[in-house]
A and B are shown apart, each in its own frame.
Chain A
């Protein structure tokens, strides 16, 4: 059972950071994960009084405070637009509404949990984390780092025009996922180069003037059951996709190639072989959907 000796509602991030340097002190996000442990916490550090429970939208990005709950992510219209719906899709199966009203985005990403739907989804987007001491770094770099005593202050998602897909497989509703997968397709350089005719800066993905800029296609696979990994689709393949000359069989081949790079393991939810098979299926569905979107015809997510 989780034991806590002292509870401090931090008055500043500096105070929270200092307190967090002691080995037996802990930041409290939603506390849902912490509560599953038998930790003997000397001081629980509550960040809820620091205004970090807001999502701010600027022209370039969405800035999400670490105390924003998963339910708020799910209901936020800016994120819905920016992510093409995958933020909502990725969290909607996490236990229930009451749970998601408590679990925080900060706790979810700081934990870098293997099973995480949240990590898989944000890795697929152009995401950065703002650390109190460590500054702003790409989420992908943060995910690979070892845990330390820094504070995750904000999650920053760039409004990079793109197409996104999120898929997960669960043995039963509301359970941890057996496998998660996300695919993103964005213009090279984040689509920031202005297109000549219309002088768009970060115009939407459909802008015809950008069609020959090239795509960056990323595939993220999580709950392997190890932590999510990011795979890049080669330039040769993304050129093919961009030029719309792919047959379904070729996309299947690409999915197989990518799935072969995903190391899977066994736990009580599924075996490694089953997960490897699922990886291929989910990657294929994701790529087909993205390809359909590129062609403007809408892919069939459930096509096997």
Chain B
């Protein structure tokens, strides 16, 4: 079957098989930030935006995305770089495997709620599992990033 979608701002028209999962379609198009963690819809590692909403690409048929827009971390480089530096500053991660999914979902949170409380952050990111850390470093990184944004996006990072 033929589908057309907009991937990271670029229109793509392609023949696909009906059961092609979005994660495989995206990796076939070079979006290697999108990774399989669990493939049982539990870990959040495969998070991408479907019409600007975060979804699990391991659990969506590519066919469903016909006529829609998909964004992956590859298409959000500036936002990801700016925020990712705060996670790195906290030494929040060990292996870093969970990082792309966590960054995608954190960006979704910031877009939806620019000033979340700790409780709101934890609730929003509950579907992103990290098997190395205890989430404390990530939480500190997010708080520091939010503070930096509150100060107008300058200076307090160091």
Chain A residues close to B by CB (< 8 Å): 2-7, 9, 28, 30-32, 35-36, 41, 44, 46, 48, 71, 92-93, 95-99, 101-102, 173-174
Contact = CB atoms under 8 A, between A and B. Distances in A.
A71 B40 CA distance: 19
B127 interface: yes
Contacts of B53: 71, 101
A77 B47 CA distance: 26
A2 B126 CA distance: 26
A95 B54 contact: no
Interface stretch (B60-68, B91-99, B139-147): B60-68
Given A31-B61, A96-B127, A97-B105, 11 more contacts: A4-B18, A5-B18, A9-B66, A28-B61, A30-B59, A36-B41, A41-B19, A92-B123, A95-B127, A96-B125, A97-B127
B108 A99 contact: no
19 contacts: A3-B19, A4-B19, A9-B63, A31-B60, A35-B41, A35-B59, A36-B41, A44-B63, A46-B63, A92-B123, A95-B42, A95-B127, A96-B127, A97-B105, A97-B108, A97-B124, A98-B44, A102-B59, A174-B127
Contacts of A30: 59
A98 B127 contact: yes
B128 interface: yes
Interface in B110-158: 123-128
B136 to A, nearest CB: 15
A9 B64 CA distance: 9
Interface string B13-48: 000001100000000000000000000111010010
B61 A96 contact: no
B55 interface: yes
Given A4-B19, A99-B41, A44 B61 contact: yes
Nearest to A46: B64
Contacts of B41: 32, 35-36, 95, 99
- Pairs of residues from A and B, 5 with the lowest C-beta to C-beta distance, nearest first: A96-B127, A7-B18, A4-B19, A7-B63, A98-B54
Contacts of B44: 96, 98
A116 to B, nearest CB: 16
B104 to A, nearest CB: 9
Contacts of B127: 95-99, 174
B61 A174 contact: no
Q: Which of A3, A28, A92, A99 has the most CB of B within 10 A?
A: A99
Contacts of A7: 1, 18-19, 61, 63
A3 B53 CA distance: 26
A190 B13 CA distance: 53
A98 B61 contact: no
A6 B17 CA distance: 8
A41 B55 CA distance: 23
A135 B101 CA distance: 42
Contact of A98 (B1, B18, B55, B64): B55
A4 B63 CA distance: 11
A101 B40 CA distance: 15
Nearest to B127: A96
A99 B61 contact: no
B56 interface: yes
A12 B76 CA distance: 37
Nearest to A36: B40
B60 A98 contact: no
Nearest to B21: A35
B2 to A, nearest CB: 11
A7 B127 CA distance: 29
A160 B110 CA distance: 36
A34 to B, nearest CB: 10
Contacts of A174: 42, 126-127
A171 to B, nearest CB: 14
Contact of A2 (B19, B60, B63, B128): B19
- Residue among B40, B42, B44, B56 with max Cβ neighbours from chain A (10 Å): B56
Contacts of A36: 40-41
